A and B are shown apart, each in its own frame.
Chain A
Amino acid sequence: RKEVEQDPGPFNVPEGATVAFNCTYSNSASQSFFWYRQDCRKEPKLLMSVYSSGNEDGRFTAQLNRASQYISLLIRDSKLSDSATYLCAPNGNKLSFGAGTTVTVRA
C-alpha cells in the first residue's frame, strides 16, 4: 500500500459549487498533515496545516478521520481561481506526498 493515496480526479465543477475529495494514508501514527496547492507548471504552495480533527480557513475545510485513516478537503463556493492540483502529505521526518487531485472550476 502506498504511503499516501489520492483520487486523481479530475473534479470538474461549476463556479459556486462545493467540491470535496479525500487523501488516505497508511501510517496510523501520523499526527498532522499538510494540504498543498499546485498550479500548472509552478511549485506546490501550502494551503493548510491540519494538527487535530480538522481545520477551517475561509472557504476551505480539512477534516481528519483517524479511524479510517483519511483526511478530506472541502472547498465551498468554488472560484475559477481554485482550479489547481491539491496535494496532501502526512507530516513527519519524511514528507511524502500523494499524487494529487486535480480540480477544475468552470464558469
Chain B
Amino acid sequence: DAGVIQSPRHEVTEMGQEVTLRCKPISGHNSLFWYRQTMMRGLELLIYFNNNVPIDDSGMPEDRFSAKMPNASFSTLKIQPSEPRDSAVYFCASRGGVREKLFFGSGTQLSVL
C-alpha cells in the first residue's frame, strides 16, 4: 500500500497567488482530514470528509480556504489569495472508519513570501 500521498512536498509562492494542495487517500478509506501545523498553533483540523462529503469545515480559517473531494481517491485544499500567515505544513490524513486509526501523508510545506 502506498499510503496517503500528498503533493507537492514543498511549495513556495508569493502573496496573492493561488495555491492548490493535493491528496490521494489510502484506497478503501472513507474519511479524509486536512490539518495545518505551525509552531504557534500546533496541529489544527481544518476540514474532514466522510464518503466524499464535507462534514465539518469549522476549522477553515477564512473564506480564502476551500476544500473539495470530487471522488474517493482525490482531494484538494485551495488557498486563494494566499498570505504570508498561511505558511505552515499542511497534512492530509485518511482512515477506514470511526474507530480506525488515522494515517497521515508526508505533508506539504507551504511558504508564502
Contact = CB atoms under 8 A, between A and B. Distances in A.
Contacts of B35: 97
Nearest to A46: B101
Interface in A23-64: 32, 34, 36, 42-46, 49
A92 B102 CA distance: 11
Interface in B1-45: 33, 35, 41-43, 45
B104 A91 contact: no
Given A43-B106, A43-B107, A93-B55, A99 B43 contact: yes
Nearest to A92: B98
Contacts of B45: 94-97
Interface of B: 33, 35, 41-43, 45, 48, 50, 55-56, 91, 93, 98-99, 101-102, 104-107
Given A32-B99, A95-B48, A99-B42, 7 more contacts: A43-B91, A43-B105, A44-B43, A45-B104, A49-B101, A93-B50, A93-B98
